[in-house]
Structure 1
Amino acid sequence: MGLLPKLIIAIILGIVIGSTGYLPVVRLLATFNGIFGNFLGFVIPLIIIGFIAPGIGDLGTGAGKLLGLTAGLAYASTVLAGTLAWSVDSIIFPMVLDTGAFQMIESEEQTIAPFFRVEMAPIMSVMSALLTAFIVGLGITIQKGEAIKNVMKEFQLIIEKIITVIIIPLLPYHIAGIFAQMTYSGQTAMVLSVFLKVFLIIFLLHFTMLMIQYTIAGSLTKQNPFKLLKNMLPAYFTAIGTQSSAATIPVTLQQTLRNNVSEEVADFAVPLCATIHLSGSTITLTSCAMAIMMLNGMPTGFGLIFGFIMMLGVTMIAAPGVPGGAVVAALGLLETMLGFPPNLTALMMALYMAQDSFGTACNVTGDGAISIVVDKLASRRP
């Protein structure tokens, strides 16, 4: 069973348990949520170091000018996607969401005390982890040493195992606990209505971003953007099924070549973009974060969100290639830059993962547009 069906079942079970009003079971789930949330807080700095440092180090091994061009375009596309999401969400969300409807879910749930707590203090703050990751990653690039690079690669594998073996499998239980507590507090109906409204807006934003990307690519190469986008549909639907940009690379590469991209550029740009270009995921993360913030009466001004988007563009470079990897990588930014407490980060993960496959599909389809632009600029074709 895939992650999405498990999340749906977890939400239903959480609602059923919460609606019974049987407090001991809800408290048991609250106890699990407290332990899981503390463990997540402990692991976040390790995730940041484990993925960002090797990610930056790997960028230093690319092909010079082609690497810089591809990475620059991927980053610009990611920031544009986040800015587009903020612009549209700022206009539409106040009209479709009940702003300030629940002032911090955490405050409502404080009456549901866990049986006990297990404190797990992180070894460093999120910002310290980010700085450490950048220093180590840049050091790997500058020194071109293999020893520290191999150590960080092995550490990355350990953290990836923690994500795939512990965090992702236990997430449905965490979500069940969140919805049991929200149902007990009378908030579930509103949260589910938010899910549906936000999903529709995110899907439309994905389509708009793809049209922008392929309009630019088509204009530069004097090709029909609709035809270019149509050629990439097999990659789009493959990504929906796999929920992985990396697993979709063979199909993305094949369809990119059909759009008249040179084989040399396609072989380089498509695998690289699968790692560093996550415009669809950025749209989803920005929109979900803004929805949760508005419902909690938190500020969503451009200065605050744009700083988050800029850092998100860097963080997405090293997002782990597993379902939900982008939101796991973004947890530190949600906590430090947007002020999300543990319960809101859990709700954010549920919102994101419920439509992760569509964000991944937008990512890989956009990779084809980036490859077209890179091919045009790098080869200076007429």
Structure 2
Amino acid sequence: MKQLFSNLLFKVFLAIVLGIVFGLYLPESINRVFTTFNSFFGQFLNFAIPLIIMGLIMPAISDLGKGAGKLLLLTAAIAYGSTLFSGFMTYFAAVSIFPQLLESQISNVAQIGSSKAELTPYFTIIIPPALDVMTALVFAFVIGLGLSYQDKSSLKLVVKDFQIIIMQLIENVIIPLLPLFILGIFTSMTFSGKVFSILSVFISIIGVIFALHILLLLVQFTVAGLLTKKNPIKLLATMMPAYFTALGTQSSAATIPVTLEQTLKNGVSQKIAGFVIPLCATIHLSGSTMKITACAMALMILEGMPFDFTLIAGFIFMLGIAMVAAPGVPGGAIMAAVGILQSMLGFTEEMTGLMIALYIAMDSFGTACNVTGDGAIALIIDKVTKEKLIS
């Protein structure tokens, strides 16, 4: 029972259920307490996002200057390419499917939003961020790239210490408080009458995202199979123990031993598998990118926001970089993406809370897709190195 209550997915599910119950049955005066907390937490999150971006991206980029040189860069390039492919595949699928799928919900939310009262906080505390999101991104790129060329640098040690502080902030403050934030979001939506339309959206798009996950894995292993001249279905089937392990652990890092073992069974050399699998557990998040892109577009369609190709393309390119720097904790990927969602797509506090809830609800499937795809990348890298394309 203790293990169940420590599981983030269970906490989020419980927060959604309690939010609906509180919104339906508790008086407005009590529900406004949750709205007041959300107002404060939302301000704190806006303050923390630029710090999170700098704390994660600076060390991630600076580390590219170390290690195995060309092999590291090639692996990072293929992982980034896989992430971009996942994002653009999701965009074109969402453009084709979501408007018709969500048509009834769009009208329902619009009618409800115009006729119901909203919960308001008792008071608000403004916490201005030290930097805006785009400034933090550019700053992180400049410092990270500069440090990647430094063999010995005291600033690199400072950046590493800053990364530790940010990881502690995410793991010990933000992630534990997310369920309460989500509870407040669903309490407010239930009070205003929006919640059941939102839940129907959740159910509708989860099936589409799962189908896209399967399609992405088939594409990844088809490419790997063509290059290695092996049966892609057999290669994918061999990786299934890693897929199902990740469903249970919700952690790419915790699944590394199984992913490594199954990758070796696919014929990848020990040297390449031992390098690529741990690295890709950190930098290859194609499944997470798919979830974030799909959920973001669904909410944008629901809110009547524009989602033209140019806007989403820029978002996907930036999201791919954010995923490389995402911390390996449950919900870490969506926390790394929040700043981009707000700065590039114009997400509000309520939309951010919904994104977090929907993402965590599917966290296991995204992680499973990520680690299984790592096996395909290892096959490709192994083939390239055997052909001596890397000296």
TM-score normalised according to structure 1 size: 0.97
Q: How does 1:1-382 map to 2 (within 5 A)?
A: 1=5, 2-20=7-25, 22-98=27-103, 100-101=106-107, 102=109, 111-380=118-387
Stretch moving more, 174-183 or 95-104 = 95-104
- Distance (Å, rounded) in 2 between the aligned partners of 1:154 and 1:188: 42
Quick one: structure 1 residues 309 and 109, their matched pair in 2 at CA, closer, same or farther if it must change by over 3 Å?
farther
- Distance (Å, rounded) in 2 between the aligned partners of 1:105 and 1:79: 36
- Distance (Å, rounded) in 2 between the aligned partners of 1:58 and 1:109: 51
**Alpha-carbon shift at residue 62 of structure 1 (Å):** 2.5
Contact 2:55–2:166, Cα closer than 8 Å, also in 1? yes
**Alpha-carbon shift at residue 354 of structure 1 (Å):** 0.7
**Alpha-carbon shift at residue 306 of structure 1 (Å):** 1.0
Stretch moving more, 314-323 or 17-26 = 17-26
Quick one: structure 1 residues 250 and 89, their matched pair in 2 at CA, closer, same or farther if it must change by over 3 Å?
same
SS at match of 1:337: helix
**Alpha-carbon shift at residue 165 of structure 1 (Å):** 1.0
SS at match of 1:143: coil
**Alpha-carbon shift at residue 21 of structure 1 (Å):** 5.5
One-letter code aligned to 2:203 = L
**Alpha-carbon shift at residue 108 of structure 1 (Å):** 8.3
TM-score normalised according to structure 2 size: 0.94
- Distance (Å, rounded) in 2 between the aligned partners of 1:48 and 1:104: 37
One-letter code aligned to 1:266 = A
Stretch moving more, 204-213 or 242-251 = 242-251
Quick one: structure 1 residues 107 and 120, their matched pair in 2 at CA, closer, same or farther if it must change by over 3 Å?
farther
- Distance (Å, rounded) in 1 between the aligned partners of 2:382 and 2:145: 27
**Alpha-carbon shift at residue 248 of structure 1 (Å):** 1.2
- Distance (Å, rounded) in 2 between the aligned partners of 1:71 and 1:225: 22
**Alpha-carbon shift at residue 34 of structure 1 (Å):** 0.2
- Distance (Å, rounded) in 2 between the aligned partners of 1:185 and 1:91: 30
Mark the runs of 5 or more structure 1 residues left unpaired by the alignment. none
Quick one: structure 1 residues 316 and 109, their matched pair in 2 at CA, closer, same or farther if it must change by over 3 Å?
farther
SS at match of 1:331: helix
- Distance (Å, rounded) in 2 between the aligned partners of 1:108 and 1:172: 28
Quick one: structure 1 residues 335 and 107, their matched pair in 2 at CA, closer, same or farther if it must change by over 3 Å?
farther
- Distance (Å, rounded) in 2 between the aligned partners of 1:306 and 1:374: 27
Quick one: structure 1 residues 245 and 104, their matched pair in 2 at CA, closer, same or farther if it must change by over 3 Å?
farther
**Alpha-carbon shift at residue 144 of structure 1 (Å):** 2.3
One-letter code aligned to 1:276 = I
- Distance (Å, rounded) in 2 between the aligned partners of 1:224 and 1:61: 35
**Alpha-carbon shift at residue 110 of structure 1 (Å):** 7.7
- Distance (Å, rounded) in 2 between the aligned partners of 1:248 and 1:109: 46
- Distance (Å, rounded) in 1 between the aligned partners of 2:113 and 2:266: 50
One-letter code aligned to 2:191 = Y
**Alpha-carbon shift at residue 189 of structure 1 (Å):** 0.7
Mark the runs of 5 or more structure 2 residues left unpaired by the alignment. none
One-letter code aligned to 2:205 = V
- Distance (Å, rounded) in 2 between the aligned partners of 1:161 and 1:128: 23
Contact 1:21–1:184, Cα closer than 8 Å, also in 2? no
- Distance (Å, rounded) in 2 between the aligned partners of 1:40 and 1:302: 28
Stretch moving more, 99-108 or 187-196 = 99-108
**Alpha-carbon shift at residue 302 of structure 1 (Å):** 1.3
Quick one: structure 1 residues 34 and 353, their matched pair in 2 at CA, closer, same or farther if it must change by over 3 Å?
same
- Distance (Å, rounded) in 1 between the aligned partners of 2:295 and 2:386: 39
**Alpha-carbon shift at residue 13 of structure 1 (Å):** 0.6
Q: Deviations over 1:206-241 (max 9, x none)?
A: 100000000000011111111101111111111111
State, as a whole percentage, how many aligned pairs show the same letter: 55
**Alpha-carbon shift at residue 164 of structure 1 (Å):** 1.0
Moved over 4 A (4+): 103-110
**Alpha-carbon shift at residue 149 of structure 1 (Å):** 1.6
**Alpha-carbon shift at residue 46 of structure 1 (Å):** 0.5
SS at match of 2:312: helix
**Alpha-carbon shift at residue 25 of structure 1 (Å):** 1.3
